[in-house]
Structures are given as C-alpha cells and as structure tokens.
Amino acid sequence: MSNDRIVSTKDIEGLLICLPGIQKARVVVDDWGAIKEIHILTGLDRSPKQIVRDVESALKAQWNITLDRRKVSVAQVRTRIPPSDDRLRFVSLEVKTDAKKGTSEVCVSLERNHEDEIVSYTGRSEGDISPRSVLYGIARATCLAANLAIPPSSEIFVDDVEVLKIGQKEAVNVLVGLSGGGVECQYLLGAALVRREVGEACVRATLDAINRRLDVIEEASSSNTSKTVQEKVPENEPSERPEV
C-alpha cells in the first residue's frame, strides 16, 4: 500500500494564498485529478511573472508537483487599502485680508475617515493683518475645526506658535492644549517644515500636535458629514492674541 498522501485542491489553494501578494486562488482539476488550471487573484505590488514562479516553486517544494506555467492565470486588481487610522488631514487653507480695515479672516478645512465615509470639518478665525496674528489665526482655525471631531466636553486650543530656523530649513512649531473630558489639561507640541508656504506648514504643525492624542479621544457622534465653526469675538472687545 502506498503511503503517498493524496493532495486535494483545498490543500493547494491553502498553500497558494500563503504566498506573498496572492489574495485568492482557485484550482481546477480534470477527471483524473490532474491540475488543469490555477486561477490567481493578486494586487499590483508584484508582477504576474513573479507570482507564477512562486506558484511553481511552492508546488514543487511542498509536494514535488511539476506545473506547466501556462496553466496559471493571474488577475491583478487595484485593492482598496483601508486607512491605517482616522487622523485628521489637511484639505485647504484660505486667508483673506482687508488692508483698509486691518483685518484678516482664516478658513481651514480638514477631513478624516469615519465609518467608511470621509467627514469634513471647517474652522474660521479672525484677527488683524500682522503676520504673527495671521499665523496664530491659522492655528486657531485648525483647532476649531478639530474640535468638531471630538466630544463637546473636550476642547483643543492654541497656546503658542513659533517660526524658527533649523539647519538650512524653516519650520513652524505649534503648542496646543487639550482640556475637558474629565482629564487634566495636556499640552502637545507639533512641528512641520515649511515646504511651500508658512501658512500651510502652520496647519500641518497644528495637526501634528493634535493627532498625537486624537486616537484616544472618542469621536463626536453626528449625522452631519460637513461641519463649520466660527470663532466668536465679542462686539466692541478686541480679541487677545499672544505674540508668536
């Protein structure tokens, strides 16, 4: 009696899906049990030739099966890569200034993944037209937008903004605070290199700080997929903004 183990199609398919890049495998045999076709489904990270060589080598090494590569067909699909996290992402920045009034208005738009949807958040802030005030307003508008993604019992606010030289590069540092939610106020520092313009770097630096703790803050539940917040400045009372 032969001690050779009979290899089933399930055995072969189970081996093949363990190979790098292979998502699904289907083996078709003829009436004699010989392999007739092997259909492979893969992503785009490896070439079909590499996949076929791996299939040949695996069958030869595991069960000493010599396979005609012409029996292997490979279909490649562009797979949807699930987001690694639900961090806030920078979408757009708009700064409007009025030289006659000496005022500036900043609008920052963010987005994040939530329950298979992309939810957008918008924050607005007003100030004067000095470069420092505008930069602080950008960080504040970013925080106001981010506050829409967390429970109302918590608040993210700007503590300070600084532009500095590091080596031959220019960078923006933003210090933000997180208060409420039954926990002691925490301070987080974010930084970003100025690649195109300082305003965009300010948004990214603010998000760099916020996203350090966003994963542990429960996202506010809402049926809306787009939200906007406007900074409220009391009438006849100038807003206080720290030097940055």
> Domain extents for the chain?
9-76, 89-230
| CATH top-level class of 9-76 | alpha beta
User: What are the tens digits of pLDDT across the range 190-206?
Assistant: 999 998 889 999 999 99
pLDDT at 151: 83
Q: Please say if the pLDDT value at position 141 is more than 90.
A: yes
Amino acid 215: pLDDT? 64
At 242 the pLDDT is 46
Residue 236 has pLDDT above 90, yes or no: no
pLDDT at 237 over 70: no
210-235 confidence digits (pLDDT tens): 988 776 654 433 333 455 555 544 44
> Is residue 139 within 8 Å of residue 170, measured between CB atoms?
no
- Domains 9-76 and 89-230 agree in fold: no
* pLDDT of 230: 57
Query: In the CATH hierarchy, which fold is given to the domain comprising 89-230?
Result: Double Stranded RNA Binding Domain (3.30.160)
Higher pLDDT, 227 or 140: 140
Q: Is the pLDDT of residue 76 over 90?
A: no
* pLDDT of 126 over the 70 cut: yes
- By DSSP bridging, strand 117-128 and strand 226-230 are parallel
- Between 76-80, 145-149, 237-241, the lowest mean confidence (pLDDT) is in 237-241
* Residue 115 or residue 172, greater confidence: 172
| Predicted local distance difference test score (pLDDT) of residue 80 | 47
pTM value? 0.57
